[in-house]
Amino acid sequence: MLYDKAKIYVEAGGGGDGVIGFRREAHVPRGGPDGGDGGHGGGVILLCDSSRRDLGALRSKHFRAQRGNHGEGSNKQGARGDDLVIRVPPGTQAVSVSGVVIDLVETGQTAILARGGRGGHGNKRFSTSVRQAPRFAEKGTSGESGWVELRLKLLADAGLIGLPNAGKSSLLSRLTRADPKVADYPFTTLEPVLGTIEADDRQVVLADIPGLIEGAAEGAGLGHEFLAHVERCAMLIHVVELAPSEGEPLENYRTVRAELAAHDTGLEALPELLVLSKSDLWTEADTADQVSDWEGAVGYSVLGILPVSSATGAGLPELTEAIVRFVPKEVKAPVKRGEEGIDVDFEAEHLTYRPKGEGGYSVEKEGEASFRIHGHGVEVLFDRFDMNNDEALGYLETRLIEMGVMAELKRAGFEPGNEIKVGEYEFELY
């Protein structure tokens, strides 16, 4: 069974704490601060590995990276925590804990699922000409953590689509060396199957997508589970049975086309080659008439119309030549649908971080004499220091003044003795 989905919990390592230390050596008067920094925590990394087939090994698992070591005296920095590497097959997509979209398609590509926490500074970092013996240090920050959903989308050049029992599996077995299960009942194929056409100067990968039925995009049948695998294909090979046991060939064709459009990822816009299967059940004259009728109905919307027979091999050389000719040698990155229906090519070159509000914080008056300071940077600042350490509180006050937070509080009506709230901390500020 192909496992193309997995939900995992990832937890990056927290940063090590900085240490409060002082030189205490014989014959060295007034030894200064020498507390070292804590090491950074390890991250959780995805690694694209071509030896992996699916996501079955990752189902319902927790992954935790190593935390950073605490700093030590004599200015010794704590060791960095080891990264935790998770190997996934090519075609894996995910969204990191911080919201970055990840798409791994080439072996060796890596992406960060969860970033490790930063190590705290030791007291040596806080010594100045006026603060020569600081007795406080920073705590390390927590690493990112949360549930992440992984999704595998097969990397194929062309996808075989059609209703159940249209002859896709038989066709794949004749065109390639793939060995899919072939039987005369619906939904014989329960998972996508890949095969490769070997041409003189290139290879073309085909994917047999399990049969679509009406309502597949909304969850009917099996097709909705695998529509996503078609998204990476550069071309569709639509297989239609000339003598179906149910329905009319043209109506069956339109049913599948409607499901592609309902999936709303642009599949209906992919180039399409129409294959009329099981042509051995018709005479050559009748088959020619069928091709003529199809050309009148859909001729201008497809790359070509080819009658084939997997049983006799008729039309297979022509189909192979057409697939190799029409599949582009360089497949462009998948196009994603942007806002307002506009198709946008997403190419991440860099990330831009913009602070919220003025200076990355905002002040809100919550009561008669109560104010709350919002802002990730301010909250992290409070998390990194011991709130029971008077020297640390003095340093915090200095930083709030330098950042302009105190001035913003005064503009909001703050008076000495009012209550201040930052994250989970509440205190009176004088």
Domain borders along the chain are 1-152, 158-334, 358-428
Sheet with 101-104: list strands edge to edge. 62-64, 5-11, 145-152, 92-95, 101-104
Q: Does domain 358-428 have CATH number 3.30.300.350?
A: yes
Cα–Cα–Cα angle for 206, 195, 164, rounded to 5 degrees: 65
What gap in Å lies between CA 291 and CA 306, rounded to an integer?
Answer: 8
Look at residue 350 in the predicted model and tell me its pLDDT: 44
Look at residue 317 in the predicted model and tell me its pLDDT: 93
Look at residue 287 in the predicted model and tell me its pLDDT: 87
Q: What's the CATH fold of domain 158-334?
A: Rossmann fold (3.40.50)
Contacts of 217 (CB under 8 A, 6+ apart): 224, 227, 259, 262, 263, 264
Q: Look up residue 191 and give its two tokens.
A: 């998972």
Question: Sign of the C-alpha dihedral, residues 23, 25, 28, 30?
Answer: positive
Within 10 Å of residue 113's Cβ, how many Cβ atoms? 26
Give the residues across from 149 on adjacent strands. Answer: 7
Look at residue 71 in the predicted model and tell me its pLDDT: 92
Flag whether the pTM goes above 0.75.
Answer: no
Look at residue 183 in the predicted model and tell me its pLDDT: 47
What gap in Å lies between CA 421 and CA 418, rounded to an integer?
Answer: 10
C-alpha 222 chain-centroid distance: 24
Look at residue 13 in the predicted model and tell me its pLDDT: 95
Give the residues across from 285 on adjacent strands. Answer: none
For the chain, the farthest-separated pair of C-alpha atoms sits apart, in whole angstroms, at 109
pLDDT along the chain (430 residues), means of 10: 82 94 75 90 93 81 94 91 93 90 90 94 88 90 93 84 83 78 49 79 81 51 62 88 84 87 81 91 88 88 91 91 85 41 38 51 87 88 87 88 88 88 86
End-to-end CA distance of the chain: 65
What gap in Å lies between CA 416 and CA 429, rounded to an integer?
Answer: 6
Q: Look up residue 137 and give its two tokens.
A: 């240090």
3-state helix, strand, coil in the chain (%, to 5): 25, 25, 50
Q: Which CATH class is domain 1-152?
A: mainly beta
What gap in Å lies between CA 343 and CA 213, rounded to an integer?
Answer: 27
Question: Sign of the C-alpha dihedral, residues 257, 263, 268, 271?
Answer: negative
Selection from 253, 206, 202, 198 nearest residue 229 by Cα: 206
- 362-367 vs 370-374, strand pairing mode: antiparallel
